[in-house]
Structure 1
Amino acid sequence: MDALAGLLDGPRARGAFLMRSVFDPPWSVRIQDRAPLTLLTMLRGSAWVVPDRGAPVPLHPGDVAIIRGPQPYTVADDPATPPQAVIHPGERSTTPTGDELCEVMDLGVRTWGERADGTAVLLSGTYQLQGEVSQRLLRVLPDLLVLPAGALDSPLVPLLSDEMAKDELGQEVVLDRLLDLLLIAVLRAWFSRPEAAAPAWYRAHGDPVVGRALRLLHEHPAKPWTVATLAVGTGVSRAVLARRFTELVGEPPMAYLTNWRLALAADLLREPDATVGAVARQVGYGSSFALSAAFKRVRGLSPAEHRQTSRPQTADLVTPGA
């Protein structure tokens, strides 16, 4: 596992909310579902994504937008169009005055709007619960990114669109996995673009020494690493490794390893059956006490407190962190 694979290993949709929305201009939808992450793409027509903070961004056919929650935003045919519908947590939709819209605008299987052959078709896929997307991934993403049409060499968007129209046994699992694959494909393409401002560890991955060190740490986080053993694995001296790693990544190797181990532990602790002791062994700590001490020192709370605050909540879906 390389550093990027480790970052992208987190997405695990579980009953994701997927919808094909069909509109005629003027149209505008206010999104305030507090979801941690949403993918949007225009299958037909164009739109604007209007964040509460920042400038409106156009969305053309084939573009894929990723929006990091929980801040509200609006999607509309024009930034000046006032919202006609509001999406709330729990897949609930209303007018701005509170009248229910779910049944009124139901157009069939995972399709919503005023008429089926509208001029604009928006496909959306939403990770609804905290823990479905790792916090270390959310931490490195901007609030809004748009991958332009043509930058994604993948059949996943039309495949997901086709599968959304089906209502067969096991369809929810199929859609969850397709959404995960699409998110990973989009992010991999995004991080390779110069405007992505990729994190330092991503850029450092291309260095023959530091890239090798990062792969070793990500593939074997539980090994009892020291700067000396890591230097042996990369074929350079301890001094050279420590200097180059710190220059390119922005922190020393052992500090990076600690943060990586605790990020892994934070994700693993969200699993209801995982014990602190078992998680400690998986990420390289000899006991639950050792993991708890490191967790408290670096993150300011115990593993038990982290698990409590990370339980899925429909009203509070994202807690910043890494």
Structure 2
Amino acid sequence: MRVLGIETSCDDTGVALYDSGAGLLAHRLFSQTALHLDYGGVVPELASRDHIRKALPLIRAVMQEADTRPDQIDGIAYTAGPGLAGALLVGAALGRSLAYAWKIPAVAVHHMEGHLLSPMLEPDPPAFPFTALLVSGGHSLLADVQALGRYTILGESVDDAVGEAFDKTAKLLGLGYPGGPAIARAAQDGDPKKFKFPRPMTERLKTQGAHPGLNFSFSGLKTAVVTAVRNRALTPPFIADIAASFEQAAVDVLAIKCEWALERTGAKQLVVAGGVSANLKLRERLKQLSEKLGVRVYFPRPEFSTDNGAMIAYAGYLRLAVGQHEPLAFSARARWGIEELGSA
């Protein structure tokens, strides 16, 4: 089965062709980072308009690279949520229209399910069941994954997602957008022990003898950075120390929560996906954790950590393979809990 995947949930236009026999045939990605840079974040209307301009040329390029004609495609998968409503509608309308014109089925894919399954595109993929950490600009959650569509949320962010905390901290330090890579670059020259930032919702176990659970909170960490920066000159050494201390605190929180989640589930595999999974400090820390606990940790390759069409094509293939497809009508869901998905 050959599936065309279209991803337009936020500010990246991703297109890919996945073949169940040959694997990933081709993929292209256009990032809108330069478009939104002056605004310090994604402007939804600008994102939607740019998806309109870029999606069809990317589809043509991917099909040409894979030497694939429309009559050789067996299905189309598009991201239907969660994400920016206008951006999602661009991909949904295009994907459903092409499927109608080419007389093939289309399937709506959950964006976070795409991320969750992205490590399965690697040469040595995980197998169900496993525990998953999904961390991005819009989401921070831990899930118990038993099979395709059988997801139980163990914990999630009660305020800012970790990627959002990176973005806001980078903006505060004048490092630009997107914040994750900017913080990581600045942190290379800094001292992660210079500032004692909190590890929110992990410290109560020591101070009060009560387990804080598996939910995340990054607002207190963000506030601590604001307090440390207030009335201080943003010199390069100071920025580097703040960035390194912030990054270390965020990584510590994620690692601690992963350890608790693995202890709860008893899983022997940990899947880490989403844009923040590209952070090298996080990868290093979780590899150390996996060795300590005797579990295997899986990451997607860095280019598939951020939004991409390959993960949507693969997730769509799995859904289409069991007979799932959409009616002629299409829709987009800005909010869509991953637990709402049905099993295959």
* Both proteins in one fold, TM over 0.5: no
Bigger fraction of residues in helix: 2
Question: Which gives a bigger RCO, structure 1 or 2 (Cα 8 Å, sep 6+)?
Answer: 2
TM-score (ref. length: structure 1): 0.28
